[in-house]
Amino acid sequence: MTVPITVFDVVNMSVCEINFTYDPTVVRMTDVTRGDMRYSFKFNVNNGSGWMRANALDVDGLSGNVTFAYVTLTAVGNKSDVSEMEFADSRLLDVSFKEIVHIRRNGTFIIWENVPPEVINVSATPIAILYDNNRPRTPGTNISLLSAYVTDADGDITAVTINLSSIGGSPAQPMEHVSGDLWEVTTNATEVAAAINAPDFTHQLTITATDNDGGINDSVSIELTVLKRGDVNGDGLVDGNDSKYISRYLAGLEPEASNPPGVLVGDVIGDAGDPVGNGVVDLMDALYIAKYTSGMVEEP
């Protein structure tokens, strides 16, 4: 944590010199940077003994609340450890070399543990969709509502994102806070190079939840199955075997007869060539796939 050391309500301060101690078994000073004083700023840190001393000059003098320095503190002890942050000494002078009378307010550094966010009850609705390729589909078959309940036992959730890169989306797609603990986003899916023809169509979409103390949970994924329209036999390709599958099924041949083609992937065309389909897998669909295989129509 980076915090300022500030001189409050001062008039024409030109010199500020401090000597500062802390418990080095609890906290280390890992960075010190200059504040408002413009002429010079020098510091020395000894994390072995637990002290920092610094001085700064400003030839014109500064008034009001003047930040002397910013110190970055890193916890090195255990949970609940405490270190006093104590001014051992301090000296302030104004532009006329007069002492500025002041009081010192010491600080306290406490190490506490942040409970990371918890991600529960994740779902995809529906759990299986079709890849988009710009050809019309039955409404709802190319989008899925991804949702998750995210809680933080000791703080607030500040952001929830989901990695959609395996289905052509952003690696950190923000999920919207709906209400209470519920976060959602609706997505479609487009094929990416690595996923084409993959035998496994189930994608693990990893959620990253962040809380107000920077705690992260990225251990939970939403499972979404994405299928290729026309791939009736489920081998990742749309080819003559899919057309044949429908033909054999319609003829009552086994094993296809006992494993009817799914409407989601198999219904690729409807009446009068309607690209949306008609909810039925029949020889019209087999013909469309056959024509696609022959390069005569676009990808289903």
Residues that bind Ca ion (CB under 5 A): 114-115, 152, 154-155, 211, 215, 231, 233, 235, 237, 242, 267, 277-278, 280, 285
By beta-carbon proximity to Ca ion, the closer residue of 132 and 267 is 267
By beta-carbon proximity to Ca ion, the closer residue of 124 and 289 is 289
The DSSP code for 165 is: G
By beta-carbon proximity to Ca ion, the closer residue of 12 and 278 is 278
Largest CA distance in the chain: 105
The stretches of the chain forming alpha helices (DSSP H) are 240-250, 263-266, 283-293
By beta-carbon proximity to Ca ion, the closer residue of 142 and 233 is 233
Least distance from C-beta 183 to Ca ion, angstroms?
A: 16
**Amino acid type, 268:** V
By beta-carbon proximity to Ca ion, the closer residue of 16 and 246 is 246
Q: How far apart are CA 41 and CA 16, in angstroms?
A: 9
Residues 151/118, Cβ–Cβ less than 8 Å: yes
Least distance from C-beta 235 to Ca ion, angstroms?
A: 4
Least distance from C-beta 213 to Ca ion, angstroms?
A: 5
The stretches of 124-208 forming alpha helices (DSSP H) are none
Least distance from C-beta 251 to Ca ion, angstroms?
A: 17
Q: How far apart are CA 190 and CA 126, in angstroms?
A: 16
By beta-carbon proximity to Ca ion, the closer residue of 31 and 113 is 113
90 burial (CB, 10 Å; 0-12 / 13-18 / 19+) is: middle
Which token pair is 110?
A: 């406490």
**Amino acid type, 73:** L
Least distance from C-beta 249 to Ca ion, angstroms?
A: 13
Least distance from C-beta 81 to Ca ion, angstroms?
A: 19
By beta-carbon proximity to Ca ion, the closer residue of 35 and 215 is 215
Q: Who contacts 129 (Cβ-Cβ below 8 Å, separation ≥6)?
A: 141, 142, 143, 144, 188, 189, 224, 225, 226, 227
Least distance from C-beta 242 to Ca ion, angstroms?
A: 4
| φ and ψ of 273, to 5 deg | 80, 20
The DSSP code for 106 is: -
